[in-house]
Amino acid sequence: MRKIAVIYSGNASHHRTFTEPRYKQYIDSLIYLPEFLNTSLEGVEVLFVPSQLNEKLLLQAKEKIIDFAQAGGIVVAFGPQPWEWLPNQKWEERETNFWWWLEKDAESGLVLAEPTYDLFNYITLEDATWHQHGVFWPVEGAQKLITTEDGGAVMYVDKVSTNGTWIITTLDPDYHFGSYFMPATERFLDGFIPWLAKGEM
């Protein structure tokens, strides 16, 4: 299995998510964000950047994260990312409708853009469906996995911006599972984390 390190904020939702036994079994280490710059990434194959990290500390960590990817590492970024730290980042903030599923003939507006991608042997579109905070417009050559109907990326894989692999999603299952609400997020993590450890990229 790949060695996964998680940048850890210490907040309650991250603690619950990343110390949950069925997820922790796939995680080699938790790196406390204030100590990240002084922590070796030797042997780490996947660097997991959760949602809702401290903006100032995340931006301070930007170059180290990019250097990790340039050396061939896999970087996973969860959640809306309004701050400029991702390579070739083009983020579009959109209004969040938390209650779309209560509407008559409700449709999430999400589309599987790459249904044969290996991740979807582990999760379904329904497992990745709750609400949306915005979209990315990835660099040419990146693979969009889940999009909105107008083509904005909710999840994509970028193997062109650096020598490594970036798996980027606007989804924030770490926050919702860790906060004890949004059942789909548990199903998402049940599939996504094992895929991250041993699936095909």
Looking at residues 61-69, what average pLDDT do you find? 98
Rounded Cα distance between 190 and 90, Å, is 29
Q: Is 80 left (phi over 0), alpha (psi -120 to 50) or beta?
A: beta
| Per-residue confidence (pLDDT) for residue 2, from 0 to 100 | 98
Q: What is the pTM of this model?
A: 0.92
CA distances for 109 relative to 19, 105, 135, angstroms: 32, 12, 12
pLDDT in tens, 145-161: 999 989 999 999 999 99
- Which amino acid is it at 125? L
* Contact (CB, 8 A) for 112 and 151: no
Rounded Cα distance between 51 and 177, Å, is 12
* Contact (CB, 8 A) for 139 and 161: yes
- What are the tokens at 68? 């990790």
pLDDT in tens, 83-139: 889 999 889 876 655 544 445 565 657 899 999 999 999 999 999 988 777 899 999
Could you give the percent of the chain with pLDDT greater than 90? 76
pLDDT in tens, 29-48: 999 999 999 999 999 999 99
CA distances for 80 relative to 26, 28, 72, angstroms: 24, 25, 24
CA distances for 90 relative to 79, 101, 138, 146, angstroms: 14, 28, 7, 16
Number of domain units in the chain: 1
pLDDT at 16 > cutoff 60: yes
Kindly give the residue spans of alpha helices, DSSP state H, lying in the chain: 12-19, 21-24, 55-70, 173-178, 183-198
**Mean of the per-residue pLDDT values of the chain:** 91
Read off the CATH number of the domain in which 128 is found.
Answer: 3.40.50.880
Kindly give the residue spans of alpha helices, DSSP state H, lying in 133-182: 173-178
| Per-residue confidence (pLDDT) for residue 107, from 0 to 100 | 63
Q: Identify the domain containing residue 110 by its residue range.
A: 4-198
More confident residue, 201 or 163: 163
pLDDT band at 191 (very low <50, low <70, confident <90, very high): very high
